[in-house]
């Protein structure tokens, strides 16, 4: 269930509420004269604002997740900083439901001592709604009662939205004003648990929103209303590929969104994205969906132990997804699969759709997390399918081979405009596939499933790859602009908050003038029946890119005061990691080292505990002798305690035989950091060089013969990287160097394609 911290507009005053049950609305909604005529099935309709990337649920991703644009961030469910909305153009869905759960005692009012609790509840509802919507006496348009056993408060109010009353007018006016004020041009209103929304309401709401280029999101409604929905969401991994296909067959024009935060390995999210993202089933980081859902630390934006490991997969696959979406989906694939399997069964699709009860409330399912078929939504009942994106082979035509296995594809050469120089380029393996021509066909076989292939000349393939390279560099500059606007800068940017974060303390230090302070505590949060212990810390992600296995060593100092004994933390299985991820009442005072390898399996997690009680500065270390090259490392400081306090300082991470420099930025949590100051000093010059490289890559993408310029572009990228690493500032340009590595790799790929023998 969505947490109370997910109010549609973060700037709304008053106590936050959970929107839990169905909208109960009659067909007379929003005035007279509304017809019930269905929108023509062929009408183009997608106001989701999706561009091929991922969504993030709640928080303010632009502020909470460092370099969030690197992750293919397109959409947010909840709210976002208006400056980020303007700079990034993200799609923002602010949700709304007719159920308000609040308390008899809130900011500026207290009716908890009244004997008539239902009257007290009505007054509390009025006070809350007046703060939220600026209109008095709205309880006359709601059914309000005292609910002492409520999970999210002791006041339960169900809005009456059966006519265009003052409450309805106030709610809609507030949303429209908010969209206008914040410059939101993509996204719209999300209806939580809207299992009983009638057609007339959706029709009226769609007209109001669509006129502004906005749309409707819902996570439950009858199939016949899918044609009004631009973003159909659900929690967990309930959307099978079969269900997605059927939903579109019933009129859904937009996307399906999955609110989930299962702890996925790199390999799992790779398989997930290849199957689901290309099917328009979009990943949304949410919460774990378990008992910690109401904790202050449950949101995706505060869990770098989840999202950091996904960066390298997202940066590889999202650009392909975006290129495919830009090309545009075509009705006729103009190709077929040799396997031509029978259509998928309907039983699985029905069971993996969205289930609602008699009230319209969406049933939330936390099913088994293990099993790749559940993660990908693909099973033996999922028939292979072929989808085409793009119509002009001169620009490149993409075929999404939606199958879990290699497939033979037979293309209609005439319909696709196949030319003598057309090749079949596998976007995932980055290889040209062998293709045969004959009898008006072009036939090839994919090497794995699912696959995305591009049909084009080698020059066009290279140009499209170069265009994506330019997009990546452009997004880097956009991120740096956003950081300036939001005031996000090194040294603080180096450390991502873990759960409730920690405080940079200038009064306590092992050396220098700073440390990271964390404190224990207990609270109930929004779930009074559950108890939570403070969970605080920080994390830093480092790209190692070892070419051969080398030792990795992590060291840190910590000081403690009245800390309870830590429980053993052994994270050697997926089940153990997920249990640790969910913990509400943990006793951890430790340091973790996450290591990811190229194979995409679960990251190794090495942990060392610090001593409990009270003690002065204690040094602990972790040394790993990997058996295969390490791709990335993440340092995570964790303090999960009901009491006490601790400080961390003077961390170091090295990769090699002991003489290598510290790979961490801001290792001492010093507010005045010389390396950060030096990085800031060269920032303008660096960005000018990136702009120059971007323009050169863009020019090559438009060139009739780009091959001759590519070696010079590689040297230009090398020089740009050296301008940072040569000054010892690699730790302060982590995303930038990943982008440059990616650019050089793509430039070399284009060189190989364009110079390959005929």
User: What pLDDT score was predicted for residue 198?
Assistant: 64
Has residue 480 been placed in a domain?
no
| Cβ proximity of 682 and 720 under 8 Å | no
345: confidence class by pLDDT, cuts 50, 70, 90: very low
Q: What pLDDT, on a 0 to 100 scale, did the predictor assign at position 575?
A: 79
pLDDT score, position 671: 93
Local structure of residue 80 (DSSP, 8 states):
-
15-19, 140-144, 386-390, 740-744 — which is least confidently predicted?
15-19
Burial per residue of 95-132, b for 16 or more beta-carbon CB atoms within 10 angstroms, e otherwise: bbbbbbbbbbbbeebebeeeeebeebbbbbbbbbbbbb
22 located within any domain: no
User: What local confidence, expressed as pLDDT, does residue 374 receive?
Assistant: 78
Q: What is the CATH number of the domain that holds 560?
A: 2.60.120.260
CA distance 651 to 285: 30
In the listed set 446, 462, 478, which residue is the last one of a domain according to the structure? 462
Residues 276 and 390 reside in one and the same domain: no
Q: How confident is the model at residue 496 (pLDDT cuts 50, 70, 90)?
A: very high
Considering the domain architecture, whether residues 217 and 304 belong to the same structural domain is answered as yes
Entry field: residues in the chain: 758
pLDDT for the residue 201:
72
Per-residue model confidence (pLDDT) at position 132? 86
- 309 plus 206 within the same structural domain: yes
What are 84's two structure tokens?
């980020």
**Do 200 and 28 contact (CB within 8 A), yes or no?**
yes
- Pick the range with the lowest mean pLDDT from 255-264, 420-429, 629-638, 686-695: 255-264
d(CA 459, CA 438): 23
Give the integer Cα–Cα distance in Å for 572 and 700. Answer: 47
CA dist 580 and 595 (Å) reads 17
Confidence bin at 32 (pLDDT 50/70/90):
very low
Confidence tier at 59 by pLDDT (50, 70, 90): confident
Mean pLDDT of the chain: 86
Separation of alpha carbons 191 and 507, rounded Å: 48
Cβ atoms of 292 and 584 within 8 Å: the answer is: yes
Highest mean pLDDT among 22-36, 233-247, 558-572, 613-627: 613-627
Is the residue at 24 inside a domain? no
Structure tokens, 141? 């348009």
Virtual CA dihedral for 118, 120, 123, 125, nearest 10 degrees?
Answer: -70
* Gyration radius (Cα) of the chain, Å: 27
450 pLDDT higher than 50: yes
Q: How many helices (H) and strands (E) does the chain have?
A: 18, 34
Q: How far apart, in whole angstroms, are the C-alpha atoms of residue 674 and residue 352?
A: 55
| pTM given for the model | 0.88
Per-residue confidence at 290, pLDDT binned at 50, 70, 90? low
Question: Which residue, of 160, 189, 209, is where some domain finishes?
Answer: 160
pLDDT over 70 (residue 366): no
Sign of the four-CA dihedral 240, 241, 245, 248: positive
Do 190 and 155 share a structural domain?
no
Kindly report, residue by residue over 66-86, the tens digit of the pLDDT.
999 999 999 998 889 999 999
CA 415 to mean position of chain CA atoms: 37
Tell me phi and psi for residue 481, to 5 degrees.
-65, -45
Q: Specify the pLDDT at position 732.
A: 97
Residue 654 pairs in a beta bridge with: 553
Q: Looking at the structure, tell me whether residues 384 and 533 fall in a common domain.
A: no
Is the pLDDT at 341 greater than 70? The verdict is: no
Q: Could you tell me whether strands 532-543 and 630-641 are parallel, antiparallel, or unpaired per DSSP bridges?
A: antiparallel
Residue 9 has pLDDT above 60, yes or no: no
| 283 shares a domain with 321 | yes
User: What pLDDT was estimated at residue 542?
Assistant: 97
Lowest mean pLDDT among 30-44, 172-186, 494-508: 30-44
Counting the structural domains of the chain, the total is 5
Rounded CA gap, 736 and 686, in Å? Answer: 10
Q: What pLDDT, on the 0 to 100 scale, is given for residue 567?
A: 86
Domain span at residue 136? 99-160
Helix segments in 344-432, DSSP class H: 346-351, 372-376, 413-416
Under 8 Å CB-to-CB from 683, ≥6 apart: which residues? Answer: 480
pLDDT band at 125 (very low <50, low <70, confident <90, very high): very high
- Chain position carrying tokens 């596998």: 426
Distance CA 426, CA 753 (A): 12
Q: Which of 650, 672, 694 is the last residue of a domain?
A: 672
CA dist list (Å): 706 to 244, 655, 699, 756: 40, 38, 8, 14
Q: Span 379-390, mean pLDDT?
A: 93
Write down the pLDDT at residue 79: 82
Residue 11's pLDDT is: 32
- What's the pLDDT band for 355 if we cut at 50, 70, 90? low
Dig out the tokens for 415 from the structure: 């319909």
Q: Assess whether pLDDT exceeds 80 at residue 629.
A: yes
Residue 16 pLDDT > 60: no
Q: Do residues 703 and 726 share a domain?
A: yes
More confident residue, 601 or 316: 316
Q: How confident is the model at residue 194 (pLDDT cuts 50, 70, 90)?
A: low
CA angle 691, 752, 755 (to 5 degrees): 105
**pLDDT recorded at residue 350:** 43
- Rounded to the nearest 10°, the torsion over CA 66, 71, 72, 78 is -60
* Domain assignment present for 40: no
For residue 124, tell me if it sits in a domain.
yes
Within this chain, do residues 602 and 719 fall inside the same structural domain, yes or no? no
Residue 483 lies in a domain: no
The pLDDT of residue 170 is 84
Cα distance between residue 711 and residue 744, in whole Å: 10
Residue 173 pLDDT exceeds 90: no
**Per-residue pLDDT tens for 464-481?**
999 999 999 999 999 999
Residues 661 and 535 in one domain: yes
CA-nearest of 247, 252, 245, 257 to 281 is 257
- If phi > 0 it is left, if psi is from -120 to 50 it is alpha, else beta; for residue 439 that is left
What's the CATH code of the domain at 434? 2.60.40
The torsion defined by the Cα of 138, 142, 147 and 153, in degrees rounded to 10, comes to -50
Least confident span in 210-214, 372-376, 645-649 = 372-376
Provide the CATH number for the domain around residue 317: 3.20.20.80
Per-residue pLDDT at 12 = 32
What's the average model confidence in pLDDT over 208-214?
91
Contacts of range 244-252, beta carbons closer than 8 Å, 24 or more positions apart: 244/279, 244/280, 244/281, 244/377, 245/279, 245/344, 245/349, 245/385, 246/346, 246/349, 247/223, 247/353, 248/280, 250/223, 250/224, 250/226, 251/39, 251/41, 251/224, 251/226, 251/227, 252/226, 252/227
Instruction: Please report, rounded to a whole number, the percentage of residues in the chain having pLDDT higher than 70.
Output: 86
Q: Where are the strands (E) in 383-421, listed by range?
A: 385-389, 397-402, 408-412
Classify residue 21: in a domain, yes or no.
Answer: no
Mean pLDDT of 135-156: 88
* Residue 578 in this model has a pLDDT that exceeds 80: no
Q: Quick one: 488 exposed, middle or buried, by C-beta within 10 A (0-12, 13-18, 19+)?
A: middle
Same domain, residue pair 62 and 118: no
Please indicate, yes or no, if residue 289 is contained in any of the structural domains.
Answer: yes
- In this predicted structure, which of 207-211, 392-396, 446-450, 575-579 has the lowest mean pLDDT? 575-579
Cβ-based neighbour number of residue 277 at 10 Å: 24
Pairing of strands 451-457, 105-106: unpaired
Residue 351's pLDDT band (cuts 50, 70, 90)? very low
Q: From the centroid of its chain, how far is CA 127?
A: 35
Pairing status of strand 99-102 against strand 552-563: unpaired
Nearest to 193 by CA among 19, 337, 44: 19
pLDDT in tens, 228-255: 899 998 776 678 999 999 999 888 989 9
Same domain, 89 and 119: no
pLDDT in the model for residue 480: 98
Most confidently modeled range among 14-18, 218-222, 441-445, 542-546: 441-445
Exposed / middle / buried, residue 758 (Cβ in 10 Å: 0-12, 13-18, 19+): exposed
Judge whether 558 and 617 are in contact, CB under 8 Å. yes
What is the per-residue pLDDT for 544? Answer: 94
pLDDT at 344 (0 to 100): 39
Question: Confidence band (pLDDT; 50, 70, 90) for 46?
Answer: confident
β-pairing, 422-426 with 431-433?
A: antiparallel
36: pLDDT strictly greater than 50: no
Judging by DSSP bridges, how do beta strands 441-445 and 451-457 pair with one another? unpaired
Q: At what angle do helices 166-182 and 199-210 cross, to 10 degrees?
A: 30
Name the more confident of 374 and 341. 374
Give me the pLDDT at residue 580, please.
Answer: 84
Q: Do 140 and 170 fall into the same domain?
A: no
Residue 35 vs residue 740, higher pLDDT = 740
Phi, psi of 132 (to 5 degrees): -75, -40
């Amino acid at each position: 269930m969505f947490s109370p911290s997910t109010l549609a507009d973060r700037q709304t005053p008053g106590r936050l509420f959970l929107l839990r049950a169905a909208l109960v609305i009659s067909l007379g909604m929003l005035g007279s004269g509304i017809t019930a005529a269905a929108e023509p099935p062929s009408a183009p309709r997608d106001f989701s604002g999706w561009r091929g990337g991922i969504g993030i649920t709640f928080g303010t991703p632009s502020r909470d997740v460092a370099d969030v644009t690197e992750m293919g961030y397109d959409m947010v469910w909840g709210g976002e900083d208006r400056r980020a909305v303007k700079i990034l153009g993200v799609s923002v869905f602010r949700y709304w439901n007719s159920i308000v759960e609040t308390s008899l005692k809130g900011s500026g009012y207290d009716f908890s001592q009244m004997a008539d609790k239902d009257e007290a509840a009505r007054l509390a509802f009025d006070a809350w709604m007046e703060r939220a919507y600026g209109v008095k006496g709205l309880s006359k348009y709601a059914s309000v009662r005292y609910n002492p056993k409520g999970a999210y408060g002791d006041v339960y109010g169900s809005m009456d939205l059966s006519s265009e009353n003052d409450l309805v007018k106030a709610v809609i006016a507030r949303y429209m004003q908010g969209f206008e004020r914040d410059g939101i041009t993509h996204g719209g209103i999300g209806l939580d648990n809207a299992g009983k929304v009638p057609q007339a309401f959706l029709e009226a709401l769609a007209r109001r929103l669509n006129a502004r280029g906005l749309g409707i999101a819902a996570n439950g409604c009858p199939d016949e209303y899918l044609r009004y929905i631009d973003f159909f969401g659900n929690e967990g991994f309930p959307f099978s590929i079969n269900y997605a296909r059927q939903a579109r067959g019933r009129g859904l024009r937009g996307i399906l969104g999955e609110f989930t935060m299962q702890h996925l390995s790199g390999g799992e999210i790779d398989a997930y994205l290849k199957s689901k993202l290309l099917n328009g089933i979009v990943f949304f980081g949410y919460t774990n969906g378990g008992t910690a859902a109401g904790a202050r630390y449950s949101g995706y934006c505060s869990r770098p132990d989840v999202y950091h490991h996904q960066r390298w997969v997202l940066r590889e696959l999202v650009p392909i997804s975006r290129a495919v979406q830009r090309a545009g989906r075509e009705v006729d694939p103009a190709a077929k699969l040799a396997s031509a399997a029978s259509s998928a069964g309907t039983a699985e699709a029905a069971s993996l759709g969205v289930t609602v009860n008699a009230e319209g409330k969406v049933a939330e399912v936390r099913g088994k997390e293990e099993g790749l078929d559940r993660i990908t939504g693909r099973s033996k009942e999922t028939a292979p399918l072929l989808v085409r994106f793009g119509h002009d082979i001169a620009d490149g035509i993409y075929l999404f081979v939606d199958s879990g296995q290699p497939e033979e594809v037979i293309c209609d050469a005439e319909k696709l405009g196949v030319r003598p120089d057309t090749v079949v380029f596998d976007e995932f393996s980055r290889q040209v596939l062998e293709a045969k021509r004959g009898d008006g066909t072009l036939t090839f076989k994919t090497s794995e499933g699912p696959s995305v292939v591009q049909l084009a000349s080698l020059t066009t393939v290279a140009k499209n790859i170069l265009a994506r390279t330019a997009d990546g560099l452009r997004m880097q500059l956009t991120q740096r602009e956003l950081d300036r606007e939001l005031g996000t800068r090194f040294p603080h940017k180096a450390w991502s908050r873990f759960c409730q974060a920690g405080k940079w303390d200038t009064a306590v230090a092992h050396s220098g003038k700073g440390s990271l302070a964390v404190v224990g505590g207990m609270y109930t949060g929004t779930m009074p029946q559950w108890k939570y212990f403070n969970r605080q810390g920080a994390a830093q992600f480092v790209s190692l890119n070892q070419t051969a296995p080398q030792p990795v060593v992590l060291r840190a100092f910590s000081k403690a005061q009245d800390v309870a004994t830590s429980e053993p933390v052994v994270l050697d299985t997926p089940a153990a990691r997920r249990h640790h991820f969910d913990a509400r009442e943990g006793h951890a005072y430790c340091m973790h080292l996450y290591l990811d390898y190229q194979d995409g399996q679960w990251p190794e997690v090495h942990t060392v505990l610090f001593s409990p009680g009270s003690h002065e500065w204690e040094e602990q270390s972790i040394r790993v002798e990997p058996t295969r090259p390490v791709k990335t490392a993440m340092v995570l400081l964790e303090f999960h305690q009901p009491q006490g306090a601790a400080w961390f300082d003077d961390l170091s991470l090295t990769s090699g035989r002991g003489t290598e420099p510290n790979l961490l930025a801001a290792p001492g949590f010093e507010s005045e950091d010389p390396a950060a100051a030096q990085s800031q000093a060269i920032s303008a010059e660096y960005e000018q060089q990136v702009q120059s490289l971007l323009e050169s890559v863009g020019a090559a993408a438009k060139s009739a013969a780009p091959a001759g310029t590519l070696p010079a572009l590689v040297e230009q990228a090398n020089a740009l990287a050296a301008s940072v690493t040569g000054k010892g500032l690699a730790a302060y340009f982590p995303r930038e160097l990943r982008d440059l590595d990616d650019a050089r790799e793509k430039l070399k790929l284009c060189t190989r394609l364009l110079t390959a023998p005929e």
